[in-house]
Amino acid sequence: MAGLVTAARLRELGVETRVVEKGDRLGGSMLLSSGVVWRHRSFDNFRAECPGGDPDLQRLVWERLDAALDWLESLGAPAVERETGNPRTSGRRFDTRELTDALSRAGSEVTLREPLVSAPDGPLVIATGGFAVRYAGEHGLLLRASPWSEGDGLRLAREAGAAVTGGLDEFYGRALAGPVPEEQFVGSAQLYGRHAIRLDDEGLEFFPQEPSWSETDLVQAIARLPGGRAWYVLDRDALSVRVRHRSVGEMVETARAVGGTVSQADFLGHPGKLAVRVFASVTHTIGGLRTDPHGRVLREDGASIAGLYACGVDVGGIATGGYASGLAAALVQGLAAAETVAAES
C-alpha cells in the first residue's frame, strides 16, 4: 500500500515515478487484509497502547489519517464501511481489490517481478513491506502476509548506513488453525483467546493474564512456545460470544473447515470442553528503519541519507510495544514521503 500511495501522490505532484514490484501482482499484504484503515480515537490512547513508539511518527499518523482517507476515496475507491466496529478506534473499511486498482490507476509505470537489488540513480522510496517472510522462517511460524516481504528494503538501507529502531523482535499477527490460502487469511483468524483457557502442549497455562484487545501480545506469546503452537480450550458458553462480526463458535467451525484440529479437551485435563489447536502467524514486522516524520531515512547520528526515503512497515517506531494499523501508517507515510521527495527533487 505504501508504495502505491507514494506513486499516486507523486504523480499528482508532477514527479515522474516508476514502481518496482518484486511480486507478480500489485497490492502486497494490503490486498490480503480486511481493508480497515484505522487510528486510535485519542492520541493519548495511541501512546498508551504503543508506548515504545516514536511520538512524532505516531502524531503524524494520528493527525493526518482522516484527510488521507478522504484522499483515498477521491481516487475512486469509496469506503464500504465508515466505522471500524471497535469503540476504541475510528476509520473506514475498503474493498482491497478496488483500492489496489484505484491506487494503481492513479500511480505511474509499474514493473512486476523485479526485486530491489541496489539503489537506482535519483531518489528512492523504500516500501517493500518489512521482513515478515524472513521473520516467520527464522522462528518457524506461519506467514500471513505477502510472500515477497523478505526485508529487501531493510537490507538495502542498512547497506547505505541507515539506523534501525527497537522492536525488531516484535510482530503483528493472528492465531490460525494451520496453514491456509491467502484468500482465507482474514476469515480464518482465531480471534477469541480472551474467552479461552490458553494452554501449551503440556496442558499448562502459558498466558494467565488478560490479553490485550488486539491479542497481539497473546500471538507473540504463542510464537515463543515450541513449534509456535498452543491450544485454546473453550466451554459451551464461550461459543456463543460474539467477537466483532462473528461468534466464537463460527470461528471454531472455520478452523474445522480449513483442516484444523478441533477436539474434546479431555486429554488436556478439561473434560466436557472443546480444544482448538492454534498457531502463531506473522502479518507484518513492527521494528524497522529509523525515519523522520517526512519519510527521510536516518543514520545513527540522526542525519538523513540523501535521496533515501521509506514508508509502510519498512519503517519502525510506530507500533512498538503494542498494535496500530499498518495500513494507516502506510497511507500517511506514503503521502508524507511523496511530498518530501517532490519538495527536495
**Contact residues for 159 (Cβ-Cβ < 8 A; gap 6+):** none
pLDDT attached to residue 141: 98
Q: Which of 337, 286, 279, 287 is nearest to 311 (CA)?
A: 337
C-alpha atoms less than 13 angstroms from C-alpha of 314 in its C-beta half-sphere: 34
Q: What is the pLDDT of residues 169-196, one digit of tens each?
A: 999 999 999 999 999 999 999 999 999 9
d(CA 123, CA 342): 10
* Cell numbers standing for residue 176: 490460525
Residue 119: is its pLDDT beyond 90?
no
Q: Would the pLDDT of 120 be above 90?
A: no
> Helix count (H) and strand count (E) of the chain?
9, 17
Cell numbers placing 124: 528512492
Can you tell me the mean pLDDT for 54-58?
A: 98
Domain ranges of the chain: 2-170+286-344, 175-282
- Is 3.30.1360.70 the CATH number for 2-170+286-344? no
Give the 3-state secondary structure percentages of the chain, helix then strand then coil, rounded to 5. 35, 20, 45
- How far is C-alpha 85 from the geometric centre of its chain's CA atoms? 18
Cα diameter, the chain:
67
Which ranges constitute the DSSP H helices of the chain?
Answer: 2-12, 43-49, 55-74, 96-106, 132-139, 152-159, 216-223, 248-257, 326-344
Distance CA 162, CA 151 (A): 14
Among 107-121, 162-176, 281-295, the least confident range: 107-121
Span 220-241, average pLDDT: 97
Helix or strand (DSSP H, E) at 109: strand 109-111
Q: Mutual orientation of helices 2-12 and 96-106 as an angle, nearest 10°?
A: 40
First to last CA, the chain: 23
Contact between 144 and 173 (Cβ < 8 Å): yes
DSSP labels, 26-53: S-TTGGGS--EEEEESSHHHHHHHSTTS
Rounded distance between C-alpha atoms, residue 340 and residue 334, angstroms: 10
Encode pLDDT of 126-156 as tens digits: 999 999 999 999 999 999 999 999 999 999 9
Q: What is the pTM of this model?
A: 0.95
